[in-house]
Amino acid sequence: MGRLLNNLRRGSSAHTVEMGGDGFTILRRTGEAEMFDRLAREVLNGAGDDYVAFPTADRYDPMSYERVFIIPIE
């Protein structure tokens, strides 16, 4: 598994992690929309060979992300 996925699973000041099923979800921390959006875009742009990513937009601001479900490809 790549370094990005390992770092994502640890959580950060911008996100928390929920494990489940075939993957895990990163969720935006309250008050960290800008930082989480940058992280979500990095995750989405890096998807391909190591993992697939399914984002969920913020229901109040569709230009912002609320969560991203990540499924590692093994």
Could you tell me what percent of the chain has a pLDDT over 90? 77
On whether residue 57 sits in a domain, the answer given is no
pTM: 0.90
Which three-class secondary structure state does DSSP give residue 64?
A: coil
The domain total for the chain is 1
Tell me the residue range of the domain where 31 lies. 1-48
Determine what percent of the chain is predicted with pLDDT higher than 70: 99
What pLDDT, on the 0 to 100 scale, is given for residue 1?
52
The verdict on residue 63 lying in a domain is no
58 is a domain residue:
no
Burial of 39 (0-12, 13-18, 19+ CB in 10 A): buried
Question: What's the mean pLDDT in 4-11?
Answer: 90
What's the whole-number mean pLDDT along residues 15-31? 95
Looking at residue 8, its pLDDT comes to 93
